[in-house]
Structure formats: C-alpha cells, structure tokens
Structure 1
Amino acid sequence: MLADANLYINGVVRPASNGKTYDNINPWTAGVIGQAADATPDDVNEAIAAARRAFDDTDWSRNRELRYSLVSKFVELLVANRAKLVEIARLEAGSAIGAAARAQVDGALNGGKDLLECYKQIEWEQDRGVKAEMGSESKRTVFLEPLGVIGAITPWNVPLYVNVGKVVAALLAGCTVVLKPAPDTPMMGSIMGELAVEAGLPAGVFNVITSGEPAMAGEMLSADPRVDVISFTGSTGVGKRIMEASSATLKRVFLELGGKSATIVLDDAPNFAMAVMTTMVVFHAGQGCAYPTRLLVPKSRYDEAIQALQMSYGGFAEKWGDFEDPTCIMGPVISKRQHDRVMSYIELGEKEGARLIAGGKSRPDKGTGFFIEPTCFADVTNDMRIAQEEIFGPVLVVIPFEDDEDAIRIANDSIYGLGGSVQGSEERAMNIAKRIRTGTVSINGGMSITGDLPFGGFKGSGMGREWGVEGIEEFLDTKAVAIKIG
C-alpha cells in the first residue's frame, strides 16, 4: 500500500476541500493501493491564486540566489528519497524494478541535477552595446525574466521524470507552478509537495492538484488568465484541446505530445543481427512517447532481420512481468482502459494483413493486472494504422526499405516527429539523422535523451523544449532596455 496522495496548496499539504478521494490503482494487480485527494474547482482556484500571489507579491522571481539554494535542496531531497520514489513508480505506474532504476526514477533524479548545472549557464543580462539612432546614442541591455505562473500538466507513463523536467526548470527560471499530475499517478505528484515543505519552498511557489476527473483541472488552468504558461505532456489530441482552450488568454503553450518514432538499421550496421534484436519494444511495456516503435530494415536483409527478431522475442518470452526480479524491465500497462486499447490495435494489425511474429495476447496468467505480451508485426507497410498511430504499448512494427532515401521517406511519413535512431556506419548514419524530422536522434546507441540536452518534437509531436538550458529558457521572456546617454 501507498500513503494517501494529498493536495499541496499555498505551502500546506491537505485533503480536498470537500474531503473526497478516489482510488489509486496498482497496474500489477488491478487492486486499490491507496486514496488520492479529488480536488474541487475551488481547490484549483486556490492553487492558481496562491501561485499568482507568490509570483507577484514576493521576491521569488527576482532572488536568483534564494531560489537556486531552495531548488537545490528540493532536488537533494528527491535524491535522498529514491527508495520511496521507486516504490511509488512500481506500485502506481506499474514500473518493473529494472525500469524504475532507469528512466522512471534515476533518469528523473539525474535530470534534476543536470538542470541545476544548466541553470548556471543562463545569461540573465546581455550587454548589447551603444548604438546611435534617431540623433541620439543609447546604451542597450537585454534581460531574461520569468514568464509567471505555470500550469504543468503531466502524464502517467514516466510521471516523476516529466514532473521534475517541468517543475524544477520552471522554479529555477523564477516562475511559480501549479502541477496537475495524471489521475493514474497522483502520488508521484503529491510526494513532491511533501518534499517541497521539507525543502522550505515559500508558500504558493509550488502547488500540486490531484484529481480523479481527467479534464477539470487542466481546463481551468488553460482558461484562467492568471496562468501565464501551460506546459503539457500527453497525447496530441489533448494537446490540441489545451491549445484551443489557452488561446482566449493568449498564454504561452509548450506541448510535448505523441510519437511514432522509427529506428533505421542500415545494411552496414555493426553486427546487423544484434542491432535488430535490440529494437524490441519491451521497456516499461512500450509506454514511452519517444520510444521507436517502427523498425525500418533493408529489403536486402529483411529475412535476416525477421529471424533475428524471432530469436530475440523468443528469448524474452518469459523474462517480463515479474514484480520482484531486479533485472525485469517490463511490467503491465497502466490500466484496463490502456490494456483494451493496445489489444484493439493488435487485432487491427492482423486485420490489416500484418504478420504476427511474436506475442499478440493478453496474459492474465501473469497476474490480475493489465498484462500484454511483447508483440511484433512483420510485413507492415507504412500506410497501415499500426504504423501511423501511436499505440503506447509493447508493439513493434517492421517495415522494409529499398535504400537510404526510401528509409528517410518512410521515417518522415508520419504526423509525428519526436525521436528516432539510426544504426550504421557513422557518416552515413549522421547524414540520415540530419534529414529525419524529429527532435532527437540516437546514432548507434548514443544517448540523445538526457537531462542536459533539449527534448521536444517536430510536427504533431509538439512545440517547445524541455530539459537542458533550453528547457529553463522556455520559462523565460526577453526584455530590451535602452538608456539614452548622448
């Protein structure tokens, strides 16, 4: 069991104003593991008001030394509570231990430390020199200033990672924040409120709203003129609705949305078979927006690639779904709703004529939770829905290509553009990477997603960047000041 997830508003950890809660569900068992405060509209309004006051009426936005010190303490406390965060990720997000020790928790903690270092690189004031204009001279300076109140709306797949990426960057920039975690993962937001108290963050600077109603709090944040920025990670469909709701107040909107990323394995990839085998979609049951779920292989080595995949999936067949195994990296999907959605795509793939070479079944024998076998489709064409739509489950599709130009065409033939990878000789792979319209590309296993690098997408995968110096600068605005000197 987990502790109850409470709200954190204006420096106080508390229940919802009407005392209502909702069930926090364990994806491994489908059982209840705790209760979460079910915020009311009045609670959301209070959180927004608190963040507005903290930005307008305190020196948080101006006192860079104070906020760096306090945010550093906040990150230190997150690191110190790693064991508790891993437990939450396992029980609430359905993370296997091996996944929790990587992107789920350690990636978030390392990313928080990276943001503290990136903060030191921000140029808050830039001397733009003296210029004569309209008969007089002016000394010019450009300043960076925080944008204001941030509404941070985060998903359930890697909740701590996304929470940290938004909250720590925004606080370092001098903004104040209202965090709205996904209904499925309330505790990973709530614990950040508890640690904010321990870190001594001033009242109102950071607030957390949990709600079992998926849209209410997000809609309020998007429409409220007191909120200056919405930073959202989630589906492209919801991102469009948030942008529309935010347009009336002309607030800034940063969106990190869906993906259908491609891995291109070239015919000259070192150890071609191993390169293909490593593309299995199994980590955290494929629930990652930048996860490459389309595998593009040369027609000249297509049969070899399929044989390699059959071997790798066969060898992995029972090495997943074990709650206690520290090497396990794949557990259940998050919910019954997600389970049914993924299974509907597997059925669709078979109807579309793709060939199922691994998996494809629900696995109730693994437990009472939401388990789906690692699944792979061969003989896929890029116009199939399973190749175009984000499934967000353990499903890989394999598509043959003729040559490098054809591989680039297929990779770019998508409404998305978030991640991707290329395996092959370095110069050739780099030439391809430069032409793939995505925000990140890994070459031969390079880590293109880390806390000190910008992350975000092209096209339907969103706008704006998180992490790195660029992720902090997203929460800053630019002001030019000129002093007449002659």
Structure 2
Amino acid sequence: MTTTDTGIQAGEQRMLIDGELQLTDGGTLFDVEHPGSGQVVGQATDATVADMARAVGAAWRASENANWARDIEFRFHCLMQLHDALDRNKERLRRVLVTEVGCPISVTGAQIEEPIAEVKHWAEHGRNFEYLVDTGIHQTHLGPARRKLSYEPVGVVGAITPWNVPFYLNVAETVPALMAGNTVVLKPAQLTPWSGTELGRIVAEETDIPAGVFNVVSSNANEVGAALSADPRVDMITFTGSTATGRAILAAGAATVKKTLLELGGKSAHIVLDDAHFGSALPLAAMMACVMSGQSCILPSRILLPRSRYDEGVAVLKAAMENFPVGDPWTPGIMQGPQISAAQRQKVLGLIASGIESGARLVTGGGVPENLPNGYYTQPTLLADVDPDCQVAQEEIFGPVLTVTPYDNDDEAVAIANNSIYGLSGEVSGTDVDRAFAIAQRMRTGNVTINGKSHFGIASPFGGTKQSGLGYRNGTHGYAEYLAIKTIGLPE
C-alpha cells in the first residue's frame, strides 16, 4: 500500500484464491486510474481464465467438504470477525473507494459505514433464520404425511459486481451468501478491483474463514468473468450491472441451468403530480441525479411534470442543478465527483447530444466544467421538452442528466413512465398520498418511492421487473435467494 500527499491510496494488488493472497502466474498487472485526475495510481493483478478455474475449484472443494455449510455458529463467528475487521479498516477502505471510484469523500458513508453495518445484520439474520420449517400434516393418496421444508445452501456462488458502488455491492452480493452456508468466488469490476481485493486481504488476514470459502479474482479481461458464469461447478451467479451484460450471463449459465440473481439497468421515472410541493420534491430530484455523478441504477432520471406547472418545475430544477457542488472528490463539501472513466463521460456527452438532436431543449449543463479540465467531470445537465420515445429518454445514461417531459393527466403520466424496457425503480410526488399511492401501484416497476420516503433498505426486498433483473436482494426474500428449498415428506 502507498499513499500520496494528495490522499490518493493504492489498494491491494493481490487476489485471494484458496486462502492465499497471490498474483497471477508471471505477475501480470493492470493499471487503476483515479477518475478525478485521469492518472494511473496503482495496479491490480490481471488474472487469467486458469486463475478463475483454480478459484472455482477451491470454492467447490470447500463446498463439498460441507463443514462451512453445517456450522451456523462458526459462520456467525467468522462474519462478526469480518464486521469488526472492516470497521478497523474503514478509513483505508474509504480512501481506496475515493481513489478508484471518484466518489466524493463527503458522501462515502453510504458506501462504507452502511455496508460494514450490513455484515453484522446478515450474520444475525442468518443465525436466527428458520432453516427447517414443519408445515404440518397433509392428506395424500397414500395416507397422511408430515412435510418439512429444509432451507439449504445452493453451493458455489459466483458474484460479479459493478464499479459504481463497489465496496457496498461486494458486501451485498457475498456476505448473505456466505452466511447462508455457500462458498463464494467474487469477480470485482475491472475499473474498481481494489474494493474487492481489499476485502479478500481482510478475510485472509483478519478472519477464521477457511481457505476456499471466499475467493477474489481480479482481472482486466472480460473472458475471466465469462468463465465464472459458464463453469459447471458454479451453482449460482449473482450479478449487478448492465442489462446487456446480464443477458450474456444468462446465456453463459444456460447450459447448466444455473440459478441467476440479476440486478440490471434502470430508466426510472419520477411522476410529479400537480399538487406536489415543487420546492422540496424537485431540488431532491436534482440532488439524486448528481450526488453519485448519476451513476446509479435506481436514479429517477425521467422527470414527468404536469403541463399546468411545467415552466415552474423546469425553473426549480435548473436552479438546483446549477448550484450543485461539483469538483475534486477529496474536497470536503463536494457532492458530485467525476464519471468513472473517459469512456463513460464520452457516453454521457454523446447521449446529451443525441437528446438535443432529437429536439430536446438544453436548459443547463451539457458539457465539461471549465474549472475542471483534468479528470472525467460532467456538468449537471437538464434537458426539457424530451420526446418520451427518443434515445435519451429510453437508454440508461449513468450520468448527472435529467430529462423533463410534460403530461396532461395521470393516465398519460403512468403510460409515459411505463414506456420502457426497464422496471427497476420509480417515484411519485404529490400532496394527496392516496392518489400518489394509487399511481405507484400502476407503475410497472419493482420499487417506488413516494414523497422522498425511500423504498430501499436492508430489511425490504429490492428487485426489478421487465429487463431490470431477476430475483431480490435484501430482506428475508433476499437472504432466501441464496438457499435451496428441499421438501421432505415423512410419517406423521
């Protein structure tokens, strides 16, 4: 580990396979950039398909041993060790996060403290989970039978995580799987490998988790993640990322009919009703668009305004976006940092240009901040008069961009909101909560927020409809995703 005078901190180069922190054969590394400067700040090991096969083999052997799967108290002990170790390492983890993601240090709490707390939550949840349920006596053609449901580990879980909130999702996709008795191979995103390799280092050095139970394979090669998805020894894949990659993972696992848990893209709509309090609802909408540089799958990026108050709403959004603090993520008080990479910024700018070409009106932003020539920054951008069928209204942008479209009545607003291949999240704002709730029920999406009261939390299931995913994270539903149900019939 090295730390520069600017606070930038390099992360763990080595991956974790079968209990050993190691480089790939030959020691090949790939570069990691700091998005705030565009400069290379360190390296991570560039694993091969053979390395991935070794990691899967280690996880498979640990799963076949079954000691981990049988001993709930030992799993609880190990995950509480992990919780405490992560808490001890949280400042190092925070600086690694800012370095490789560009997340402003002022808003890292949700990406550091919250996932650390979730480790303890899942340890306690798993310890108290009812793994054997007696459903009583059932009448059958052969006489009465008692039936019991046995919740058992799936086996080997492959976790493939994205770059936008890497430490949080590395925890969210692996810790409940581990507590449920599975073994895990984690493939962190290519742009943010350290949030995964640091987790592997902490597991290896500061917990009693046995060799092979938890593995981390970092690589800059797409085929390494594909090998994890296709390996017949992997019983389940959990993935968060783009819908396009999700389709590829489904195809790779089809040959072995692999269980797949997917949290994919979103293009969520925020229906602002004519009785809404614009002064509170719209500045919050602007903040949500900018605080993670727009790099959030649940971002309600399509703002639908009633035509009767359209100009008023656009003016409130414009003022909020023009006054949002954008800059160096190491500076306290900054709320929006850079895009993750030059390629991602170019994608965002290209979609903004596409929107303008299709007839949208550029209200503010649309380019690169003049005071931030280095790094991958994008101005908070507001596009008004957006055709709901155009590319910028249909494609996930993953940047600090809001589109605004007018509507004339509630039915039209719902129709526009549902006009998408995605169905991950949504929002409704209005003074009449019963009316807002009725509209929320008509939105074809897995989650809806009303008047800023977030649907998202560790105790509530989170998942998408349509092409936004399969299955659930969080809550009892999310924990059960990592378990197989066996129905056992026995004499009464």
Q: TM-score, normalised by structure 2?
A: 0.95
Given candidates 88, 94, 104, the residue that maps to 2:96 is 88
Structure 1 partner of 2:438 = 431
Q: Is 1:417 equivalent to 2:391 in the alignment? A: no
CA distance in 2 between counterparts of 1:166 and 1:4 reads 20
Q: Are the counterparts in 1 of residues 79 and 120 from structure 2 also a CA contact under 8 Å?
A: no
Shift of 1:252: 0.5
Among 361, 368, 382, the alignment partner of 2:367 is 361
State the AA in 1 paired with 2:320.
S
Give the residue type in structure 2 aligned to 1:379: D
1:381-420 equivalence runs, <5 A: 381-420=387-426
Partner of 2:10: 2
- What CA deviation, in whole Å up to 9, does each residue of 1:418-474 have, x standing for no partner? 111111121111111111111111111112111222111100101111122211110
Q: Secondary structure at the match of 1:332?
A: coil
SS in 2 for 1:285: coil
Partner of 2:355 in structure 1? 349
Counting only pairs closer than 5 Å after superposition, residues 301-340 of structure 1 correspond to structure 2 as 301-316=309-324, 319-340=325-346
Deviation of 1:275 after TM superposition, in Å, equals 1.3
Matches within 5 A, 1:60-459: 60-102=68-110, 104-120=111-127, 122-197=129-204, 198-213=206-221, 215-269=222-276, 271-280=277-286, 281-316=289-324, 319-363=325-369, 365-424=371-430, 425-459=432-466
Query: Aligned-pair distance for 1:364?
Result: 5.9
Decide which moves more: 354-363 or 133-142: 133-142
Provide the secondary structure at the position in 2 that maps to 1:439.
coil
- Distance in 1 separating the partners of 2:296 and 2:53: 32
Query: Structure 1 residue 117: deviation in Å?
Result: 4.0
What is the Cα deviation at residue 41 of structure 1? 1.6
Deviation at 1:341, TM superposition (A): 0.8
**Per-residue Cα deviation, 1:132-161 (whole angstroms, up to 9, x for no partner):** 423433222111001010110000000011
Distance in 2 separating the partners of 1:243 and 1:467:
22
* Aligned partners of 1:112 and 1:451 also within 8 Å: no
State the Cα deviation string for residues 164-214 of structure 1 (Å, max 9, x = none).
Answer: 11101100111110000001000000011111121111110100000011x
In the alignment, structure 2 segments of 5+ residues that lack a partner are: 1-8
Q: 1:111 to 1:358 in 2, by over 3 A?
A: farther
What code does the residue aligned with 2:299 have? Y
Q: Contact 2:264–2:468 at 8 Å: present in 1 too?
A: yes
Residue type of the alignment partner of 2:168? Y
Equivalent residue of 1:310, what SS?
helix
CA shift at 1:44, angstroms? Answer: 0.6
Does the 8 Å contact 1:342/1:392 carry over to 2? Answer: yes
Task: State the AA in 2 paired with 1:154.
Answer: T
Q: Contact (CA 8 Å) 1:333, 1:371: kept in 2 or not?
A: yes
- Determine if the alignment matches structure 1 residue 11 to structure 2 residue 27: no
Counterpart CA distance in 2 for 1:65 and 1:437 is 41
Aligned-pair CA distance for 1:263: 1.1
Give, in angstroms, the shift of residue 307 of structure 1.
1.3
Instruction: Report sequence identity in percent.
Output: 42
Indicate if the aligned counterparts of 2:304 and 2:405 stay in contact, CA closer than 8 A. yes
For structure 1, the residue ranges without an aligned partner over 5 or more in a row are: none
Question: What amino acid maps onto 1:376 in structure 2?
Answer: L
2:338 is paired with a residue of what secondary structure?
Answer: coil
CA–CA distance in 2 between the matches of 1:433 and 1:413? 15
Whole-angstrom distance in 2 between the partners of 1:131 and 1:313? 61
The one-letter code of the counterpart of 2:94 is: V
Q: Distance in 1 between matches of 2:65 and 2:117?
A: 32
Shift of 1:223: 1.1
From the superposition, tell whether residues 409 and 111 of structure 1 become closer, same or farther in structure 2 (CA, over 3 Å): farther
Q: Distance in 1 between matches of 2:440 and 2:415?
A: 12
Segment drifting more, 185-194 vs 444-453: 444-453
Q: For 1:400 and 1:106, how far apart are their aligned partners in 2?
A: 39
Q: State the secondary structure of the residue aligned to 1:139.
A: strand
Q: How big is the shift at 1:84?
A: 1.2
Distance 1:446 1:417 in 2: 19
Q: Which residue number corresponds to residue 44 of structure 2?
A: 36
1:115–1:468 Cα contact (<8 Å) kept: no
CA deviation profile, 1:4-36 (whole Å, cap 9, x unmatched): 421101111111122100001110111111110
* Alignment coverage as a number of residue pairs: 480
Partner of 2:5: none
Alpha-carbon deviations, 1:102-159, whole Å to 9, x = none? 3x22332233333334335522111122234234332221110010101100000000
Whether 1:465 and 2:472 are equivalent positions in the alignment is yes
Task: Provide TM-score, normalisation by structure 1.
Answer: 0.96
1:182/1:324 CA distance change after superposition, 3 Å: closer
In structure 2, the residue corresponding to 1:286 is in which secondary structure?
A: coil
Asked if 2 retains the 8 angstrom alpha-carbon contact of 1:118 and 1:468, the reply is no
Secondary structure of 2:405 counterpart: strand
**Cα gap change, 1:304 to 1:117, in 2 (>3 Å):** farther
Residue identity in the other structure for 2:225: G
